[in-house]
Structure 1
Amino acid sequence: MNSLAIKSVKYLVGLVFVGVFLWALLWTVVGLIQEPPKETAEHAIHKHPKELSLASDGPLGKFDRQQLQRGFVVYKEVCSQCHSLSLVSFRNLKDLGYTDPEVKKIAKDWAMKQPVFDEKGGTWGERPNVPSDRFPKVYYAGTGTPPDLSLITKARHDGAAYVYSLLTGYDEKPSAEAVKKFPEFAKTPEGMHFNPYFANLNIAMPPPLTQDGQVTYSDGTRATKAQMAEDVAAFLTWTAEPTLETRRMVGFVVLGFLLFATILAYGAYRVVWANVKH
């Protein structure tokens, strides 16, 4: 078989594969048009996160230290019983405006202590936290394992807005029209809690923010449920990226340097080639 015949066979085989692919694609599109996929309860009832505006938003945004301290109070008093913050050290709290003595006291008074292993006795024990320690991991006694919150605003789409919406979404109920269309959501399964901002609409975590004034803010801010949810969402934005402000500042410095270098290079080009005739 000569080379021309071999090339012809190759092209023919290729055309057959392309034809089969286009045929399958055509009938897939036709099938979707004739029988579109049925709407699921998750698509019909699930809500997109509410809008949330934080001081750290935008390229020029900066953290509101007072809000971050309030958010830490909410985490400490409400969330820390179930959720870990194992990627953050106590000494990092100085970035929020806490002093060294305050950080030392927070670490020492923290409910969970640092586990230590006694090599001689072969047993585990505990010791008080020190500022250089990371927040101890929480060992949850209930069913399931609550997620670590260190990077939660990076791990969830819409980040802080998702956290805020989830925490304030427990009081919302599916509409009568949605319940009529999906009657299985008329009653929440035992041990679960309806929340339209959670992926499958029912979440095992009970409402963590149950009433206004659940925590006390030292700056006098009124601790409504919405305020506490916003503050802890801001705090978790910081835990996920504590170097946010530095990164942005370095970015602007680099952009300024590149702009200056571009202008300098263009000026050098004009000087060097000024007397060269084309």
Structure 2
Amino acid sequence: MSAFMTKTLKIVAGLTVAFTLTVGTQALANSGGAKEPEDHGFTFEGPFGTFDQAQLQRGYKVYREVCSACHGMHLMSFRNLGQKGGPFYDPKYKNPNDNPIVKQIASEFEVTDIDPDTGDDIQRKATTSDRFPSPFRNEEAAKASNSGAVPPDLSVITKARAGGANYVASLLAGYQDAPAGLKIGDTQHYNPYVHGSLATQWTGDPHHVPQGGVLAMPPPLVADKVTYDDGTKATLKQEAADVAAFLEWASDPHATERKQMGFAVIAFLLVLAGLTYAAYRQVWRGKH
């Protein structure tokens, strides 16, 4: 075979592979998968980002009045709400346990404790040192109230989901009616942002499976579900973004402090490097 023929065959083979990959990628794009989360422009994103305290307060209210009915946050203590960078931080109270707002919030809950005299279970008002109580007494009770599924704990939910807070906010505001041709159960709810596959439930064109998946959780938020104390309009998207920001903070309450410490360390290292270089020049100036 001549060199010309060999080169021609290689070109044809390359074009064939490229065409196949292009068509295959397009088919994959039209065959389900989750919709990319929206960018909500959160203030805490990036190396210089910080949390908006007003948004954290709004987000806590959404969690308290809506999400906490089904979802716990077993890693969070009430005092965390008053720590530096938290939603109710007040510099007048260096110890968050002394923060009156945090004390009031804790007192609105009851927690299970043990009577030291009898050893019996008792209910008492929570204190700032207590963790957020679970909405259910046990796992079986959680299943019974949620069609057999245990609602996930939200303590680190934004760390456990690809896309973090943007994913959570997009999902909460992204519920839609199921597309025509998608067969879902009576207790299932369609959401294009859910990671999953709808191929087995899709009766339409197999090359155009809808994006997303289904959830057992019905849409938890609607516009004006809560009334914000700061007068912010409680649109669906606003509520979703606010509670997602709160959950992002809750998953790593010391994130801002760590960023600030990192900047200080980098600045110190830069200064140290400069001094080291200057000392090197001074010491070796007359050695050459």
Shorter chain as normaliser: what TM range? 0.7 to 0.9
Q: Indicate which of 265, 271, 275 corresponds to 1:254.
A: 265
Q: Tell me the C-alpha RMSD between the 2 structures.
A: 2.6
C-alpha distance in structure 1 between counterparts of 2:282 and 2:63, whole Å: 61
Contact preservation (8 Å) 2:88, 2:101: no
Q: What is the CA distance between 1:44 and its match in structure 2?
A: 1.9
2:235 alignment partner in structure 1: 224
2:205 alignment partner in structure 1: none
C-alpha distance in structure 2 between counterparts of 1:104 and 1:60, whole Å: 31
One-letter amino acid of the structure 2 residue matched with residue 197 of structure 1: Y
One-letter amino acid of the structure 1 residue matched with residue 100 of structure 2: P
- Residue 69 (structure 1) aligned with residue 49 (structure 2): no
What are the equivalent positions in structure 2 for 1:33-52 lying under 5 Å apart? 43-44=31-32, 46-52=34-40
Q: Indicate which of 139, 146, 149 corresponds to 1:144.
A: 149
Q: Percent same amino acid at aligned positions? A: 45
- Residue 264 (structure 1) aligned with residue 275 (structure 2): yes
Q: What is the CA distance between 1:125 and its match in structure 2?
A: 2.6
- Residue 192 (structure 1) aligned with residue 191 (structure 2): no
Contact preservation (8 Å) 1:172, 1:196: no
Q: What is the CA distance between 1:119 and its match in structure 2?
A: 6.8
What are the equivalent positions in structure 2 for 1:147-226 lying under 5 Å apart? 147-171=152-176, 173-174=178-179, 183=181, 185=182, 187-200=183-196, 201-210=213-222, 212-226=223-237
Q: What is the CA distance between 1:118 and its match in structure 2?
A: 4.3
- Secondary structure of the residue that 1:76 maps to in structure 2? helix
TM-score by length of 1: 0.77
- Secondary structure of the residue that 2:32 maps to in structure 1? helix
- Secondary structure of the residue that 2:122 maps to in structure 1? strand
- Residue 103 (structure 1) aligned with residue 102 (structure 2): yes
Give CA deviations for 1:230-269 in whole Å, capped at 9, x if unaligned. Answer: 1001111110111111101100001011101111111111
Q: Indicate which of 65, 84, 99 corresponds to 2:72.
A: 84
Q: 1:145 to 1:60 in 2, by over 3 A?
A: same
One-letter amino acid of the structure 1 residue matched with residue 127 of structure 2: V
Q: What is the CA distance between 1:78 and its match in structure 2?
A: 0.5
One-letter amino acid of the structure 1 residue matched with residue 79 of structure 2: R
C-alpha distance in structure 1 between counterparts of 2:263 and 2:29, whole Å: 45
Q: 1:217 to 1:116 in 2, by over 3 A?
A: same
Q: What is the CA distance between 1:46 and its match in structure 2?
A: 2.4
1:24 alignment partner in structure 2: none
C-alpha distance in structure 1 between counterparts of 2:60 and 2:218, whole Å: 20
C-alpha distance in structure 2 between counterparts of 1:83 and 1:247, whole Å: 28
Contact preservation (8 Å) 2:178, 2:189: no
Q: 1:43 to 1:248 in 2, by over 3 A?
A: farther
Q: What is the CA distance between 1:39 and its match in structure 2?
A: 6.2
Q: 1:43 to 1:116 in 2, by over 3 A?
A: farther
Q: What is the CA distance between 1:127 and its match in structure 2?
A: 1.5
- Secondary structure of the residue that 2:66 maps to in structure 1? helix
One-letter amino acid of the structure 2 residue matched with residue 124 of structure 1: D
C-alpha distance in structure 2 between counterparts of 1:191 and 1:42, whole Å: 26
1:242 alignment partner in structure 2: 253
- Secondary structure of the residue that 1:275 maps to in structure 2? helix
C-alpha distance in structure 1 between counterparts of 2:89 and 2:51, whole Å: 14
Q: Indicate which of 131, 139, 146 corresponds to 1:134.
A: 131
C-alpha distance in structure 2 between counterparts of 1:55 and 1:154, whole Å: 17
- Residue 115 (structure 1) aligned with residue 112 (structure 2): yes
C-alpha distance in structure 2 between counterparts of 1:43 and 1:51, whole Å: 23
- Secondary structure of the residue that 1:135 maps to in structure 2? coil
- Secondary structure of the residue that 2:106 maps to in structure 1? helix
Contact preservation (8 Å) 2:34, 2:195: yes
Q: What is the CA distance between 1:171 and its match in structure 2?
A: 2.4
Contact preservation (8 Å) 1:42, 1:199: no
- Secondary structure of the residue that 2:287 maps to in structure 1? coil
